[in-house]
Structure 1
Amino acid sequence: MRVHSDSRARTRAAVGLTVAALAAGVTAGAGPATARPENAPAPTAAYCGAAHRIEQKLSTGTTWRMCWRYDGKAGLVLEDVSYQPKGERRPIKVLHSARLGQIHVPYDDGSVEYDDLTGFDFAQGLMNLAPGECPGGTIKTVKVPDSVNETPTIKGLCTTTRSRGHAYRVQGDTPGTVHQAQGRDLLVHTVNQVGWYEYLTEWRFQDDGAITMNLGATGSLSWDDYDAGDGRGRPVGKGASARATSHSHNAFWRLDFALDGSTRNRVEQYDSTVTAPTGGQQAPTTRTTRTKITKELAGDIRNYRWWRVVSATGKNKDGHARSYEIVPGPTTRYPGRGFTKHDLYVTQYNPCERFASHNPGPCGPGAGTSVDRWVNGQTLSHPVVWMNIGFHHVARDEDQQPMPVHWQGFSLAPRDATAMNPLTPDGLAWQNGHWRPGR
């Protein structure tokens, strides 16, 4: 579950927002990189300066590089993201920019709904991190734009590394030989408080080139919501006098790819069908078809369906076009609003289209203020991916006190970004394509 501890009293807390904070579009923090408009070319690592640069070489040999800035509404923004595994002469550019695109929270009883990024001061709630929240890492100082707090400078951005267990294991063709490695990740995260709720925004950059984006929810259940007399809520505490109101979390991420340094990427959708055995076949037959997505898309997760973003300019050493596959996590699609009725949107880049709902705009006559209204048949030359991962929270006794962290998110998996597994040990490096045991 992803818990939302928001209180209806959040509306009262919003009075503290300044007019400037409500009106801000893409407002950046201090430093040369943070002042760059979102439609400008992606910066290089040197451009963003040491204070806004993240560069980490993991123990397995892979180096991740990126710039960061802090937006007045979206919070943490990562830009110019690239990775360089061992054996690659230069970094492989992956993303122009990546950030949250919205957190939409509707309550089951229909009384309220929130757009936490653009309507409820998510970015202003950046929290100071204790050293124990960033073990073995560095806590960077963040200047919060248009801060309504007395101290706009927060020690709120953690960068550290963590083990994720086995990266691979294979029994070699030599008796007693086992090739195995323990994977390492670069972890970048912040904590933002909204009402009773504390959001953990987490980015994991793996040494094999994968990227995982997670939004965690913790904090406290809101005692102001212990009034679910309509039967939709669940009792917490002794008896049934306190009932926590059920609600949904619809988290959006906005990804602007720049594979091999170009934003002119292609998007492809793959669908497979399985048919029963015929003509003496011993097993069912699976046929996979590829659809090139040339127009804006509102897509839905289905069994045997996946998407990838393909480089228009770069290939790996085997001559295959580099790409990244979009791997959704568990999700509950919320049917109550148009912008939450689909799992994935691909839109043509528009600097005005910044948030999946309650977009500040205006983006022109009839453009609408949500991502579903922007899918209107434009040809894709610079695609932007919006991923929607939903969760329906029905409270439980274990949610208090404090609430355990509940996660929702998805991953990007490299597909042909390198010719072989970027962590391949030297003893297996010759096994690319056709090979025979005992070479």
Structure 2
Amino acid sequence: MLALSQLPKNVKQYLIITGNYWAFTLTDGALRMLVVLYFHDLGYSPLSIAMLFLFYEFFGVVTNLVGGWLGARIGLNKTMNIGLALQILALGMLLFDASWLTVPWVMAAQALSGIAKDLNKMSAKSSIKVLVPDNANQALYKWVALLTGSKNALKGIGFFLGGALLALFEFHGAILIMWVALVIVWLFSLWALKEDLGKAKYKPKFKDLLSKSRAINTLSAARLFLFGARDVWFVVALPVYLSVTLDWNHWLVGGFMATWIVGYGIIQAFAPHFTGKKQGKTPDGRAALLWALVLTLIPASIALSLNSFEQWNTIILIGGLMLFGALFAINSSLHSYLIVLYAKEDGVSLDVGFYYMANAMGRLIGTILSGLLFESYGLVVCLWVSSGFILITSVLSISLPRHKE
């Protein structure tokens, strides 16, 4: 505690923001798994389950765009606390009697949760740019990778937590436990976060929402297709396939999804070691292109193998998705570093918010396609579309800036 008290103010504020982000991430992952499994048990079709997340992803698009502007005007501490409050409200909406849990009601709760999640993510990611000195690119990459990786590892634990809480306490009991825990975190955050970290020196106008940087626009478009490629099979198709086709119970589905996300997060945290740290290099647009090209091959290979070796489908699917997760983690970590690198320091949340707006749009497209394609054509088609999306990411990455020799 003494060591923590002696840290600079900005660092202590950032550590509190990171802790808030982690706590929020646990509830976000758990809530996602709870909703998928609970409403599947109620007899909802894959497309109907996907539609429950429609507003979650749609309002993520809006929140990242407006939230970046808001963070630059009022400070990232305030946007963080607003996000926590909205997640508490979203969980509270799901505590009502089961007769209230209609599709429109759950979609509204998920809309609030989507706004909350992206306010939290934008606040945490933007803070790094403010705290790391100019031109300390290796340090910047390391801290971005650690934050992103730890967040996704905790989200994976949240997936497992959601499946476990549903099995042990049923839906309403699980939601109540998460609601109480997050209220405690929010009250501490209101007391502890006092600095206007990330507040711009100028008052950005609403017209400043759209990025004027070619590099940020290109990276944002690449990010859209990258995350669309993941969610087209991950959000609805995979958990329903594991539950229905492979006859896995809630514990197994939640455990597998959790393992995938935790492993994905760990590799994200260590991404600098795979992309040039030993040679004293930081990645550029060339690295983003090469890693995307490699990733393109994985979903296509899984799809071909599932059709050719049906007796080995379980091993092929699990092994293939683990490999996909490892390579996707490196791609995601590279992108997360590049956006913070490209962003302007003054009003950094404007550029970061615009970028994660594209990220949310990719998730929205992937979520809708996940339910639609799986219900109509099955998991194999979802994997082919995933491969096609990553190929588009590769093509866009060709024009990303590269280091001058």
Q: What is the TM-score of this pair, normalised by structure 2?
A: 0.29
Higher helix share: 2
Q: What is the TM-score of this pair, normalised by structure 1?
A: 0.28
The structure that has the greater radius of gyration is 1
Larger relative contact order (Cα-Cα within 8 Å, sequence gap ≥ 6) = 2
Higher strand share: 1
